[in-house]
A and B are shown apart, each in its own frame.
Chain A
Amino acid sequence: MSSIDFHEIEKSYGATPILKKVSLSIADGEFLTLLGPSGCGKSTLLRILAGLELQNAGTVLIGGRVVDGVRPKKRDAAMVFQSYALYPHMTVADNMSLPLRMRRLNAWQRLPLIGRLLPGTRGASQEIAAEVARTAEALGIDHLLTRKPGHLSGGQRQRVAVGRAMVRHPAVFLMDEPLSNLDAKLRVQMRAEIKELHQRLGVTFVYVTHDQAEAMTLSDRVAVMLDGELLQVAPPQEIYADPDDRRVAEFIGSPKINMIEGVVSAPGRVSVAGTTIASDIRADVGAHLTLGIRPEAFRLGAYSERGAISGTVRLIEHMGSDLYVHLDVAGVKQPVVARLLAERAASISIGHSLSLSVEPERVLYFGDDGRRIRAHDKPAKAAAALVRETA
């Protein structure tokens, strides 16, 4: 059992709050990603879980056991660091065997020279060497065992860091931006390897990143953090399609979601950017809303049953399969970005006007406080299920 529970974790450095009552439960064997911009507190939360820092208030449980005040090595959690944190003076083999040596050999047995003469040291050391060799082979780094980290490439170091974490079979795997020091190509490759590793080991992974692509591709669930708060915890699809909060909607997705001011003009009607969209959200007439429309929710052309937004084409970005069209729309501050099929390029030119329509059910509504306003206050799960069916 290695579920993880954070209960109302608070942390501050001096007067600066880093974590504000964060509660989160992670299931056994789950791959959970803490996603957020730098400074949002995600790394601090991970370090609290690892035992590298102490929370000011709140409780952490690993496998149902309260671990507050338990030293890192007793938590059965291994960690891969952004900088890899390999010991530069040790060979790869020594780096990987250290966690095992520290656990299986006592202080006397670990002494240089004398330690080797003590009973039991030999056998234990051979066992450790064999396990290290097995792990190294599994990671494809067995030919590097005698080298030192300084002579390895970034990807190799990354694997060694993973190996050092893996070799002791921890119940929980913690990863703090493990891919951010790699180049783009290697990052994609290592991403796949980490995914595979999780499936193979079947243990709980907690992964910290600011890269939404990593979060979306790797995770069972994503926890989006901002300014020390947990905004939403949900599967990647749901985070994208059904965000609870305006900030989540804006953080996830590229190009960014369009945010357009609107007013409820009549029951079931929302007027926005010179058009009216049918909507069954619960809001009083006259209420101000913000509409979040993903760039790919737009369709070219105006249809009567859908709201249509017209504007002047300002910029066209060819992305290969897609086309990003930036539209200046009267009454909207930011240009509206639409993602269209590349075949449509011929019919669009800069400076000309263009009409875009949007399916009402793909419009997300946010109130003044940034919280999502749902149609009929549908429970989030039902909406997610709907999205998944359509997806």
Chain B
Amino acid sequence: MSINRFAPPAAIFRHVVLLTTGTLILIPFVWMVSLSVKPPGEIFREHFSLWPEHFYGIANYTKALTSSSLPHYMLNGVIVCTMILALQIAVCAPAAYALAKLNFPGRNLILGMVLIALILPREVLSLPLFILGYHLGILNTYAALIFPYVVSPFGIFLFRQFFKTIPDDVVHAARLDGLSELAIVWKIMVPMALPAIIAFAIFSVVGHWNSLFWPLIAVRDQNFMPPPLGIMAFKNEEAGNDYGPLMAASTIVVGPLIIAFLSAQRWFVDGLSGAAVK
């Protein structure tokens, strides 16, 4: 240990500050869960307590799950996120392989296009994409939620960076073994790039599970709403006054990602800050 390492008072200072900021950060979560288990009478009381006198959680959560289509929204979220991720990998991995390992005229042009697309904010494109969806007649379907995202410039870029670190000899050996180029992508590159794939999967799923902007535009039908849109609809229906079930619904929407995050922290941090290679 260096002589300059923190002395005990400094270590205590560190914990005090971090516990304070950490608590402040967690307050919205704690408040959300706290309200979600309180009966209406206690919510509207003038003084606050973290834990209710009468535990009302079961009633609130039951109401959140039954009086709205929350389970259906969650299912929509799972379907949409899975489809987007599967299509993104299917489209991006071969392209990334071609950009990383093959030499062909137009390669730099495509790479340039990927980098430009990486800068473009999706919201700017929403109007033409809406019109495109309208003309394809797919608005108000799962397809509307999925189609703008089937190609991810970030995915192509991330995979390309990772594929480039795989030695050329691996590709050559696979070719000599008689694998086709497509087989090399799926049987060699993708398995070897699994960390990048996982990082990208987390990035993609978290992004699309949480996204509100495009779903708001693309679907009006409750049957296709993903969770964020669904919870907004729930809030509007309940006129924002029935806090208990609303907070229960919020907790249910936020829950899966938080649990996944806490159980695979390292992967999430890498995946979401992996955007840093941008």
Contacts and interface: CB of A to CB of B under 8 A. Distances in A.
Interface of A: 51-54, 69, 71-72
Interface in B107-156: none
B1 A71 contact: no
Contacts of B103: none
A7 B215 CA distance: 72
Interface string B1-35: 11110000000000000000000000000000000
Given A51-B3, A53-B2, A54-B2, 9 more contacts: A52-B2, A52-B3, A53-B1, A54-B1, A54-B3, A69-B3, A71-B3, A71-B4, A72-B3
Contacts of A52: 2-3
Contacts of B4: 71
Nearest to B5: A54
A72 B3 CA distance: 8
Contacts of A53: 1-2
Interface in B247-262: none
Give the interface residue-count category, chain B.
under 10
Q: Which 9 A-B pairs have the closest CB atoms?
A: A71-B3, A52-B2, A51-B3, A54-B1, A54-B3, A53-B2, A53-B1, A69-B3, A72-B3
Contacts of A51: 3
A182 B96 CA distance: 37
Contacts of B1: 53-54
Contacts of A54: 1-3
A72 to B, nearest CB: 7
B219 to A, nearest CB: 51
12 contacts: A51-B3, A52-B2, A52-B3, A53-B1, A53-B2, A54-B1, A54-B2, A54-B3, A69-B3, A71-B3, A71-B4, A72-B3
Nearest to B1: A54
A51 B5 CA distance: 12
A72 B4 CA distance: 9
Contacts of A72: 3
A176 to B, nearest CB: 15
Contacts of B3: 51-52, 54, 69, 71-72
Nearest to A52: B2
A54 B4 CA distance: 10
Contacts of A69: 3
A302 to B, nearest CB: 53
Contacts of B2: 52-54
A70 B1 CA distance: 14
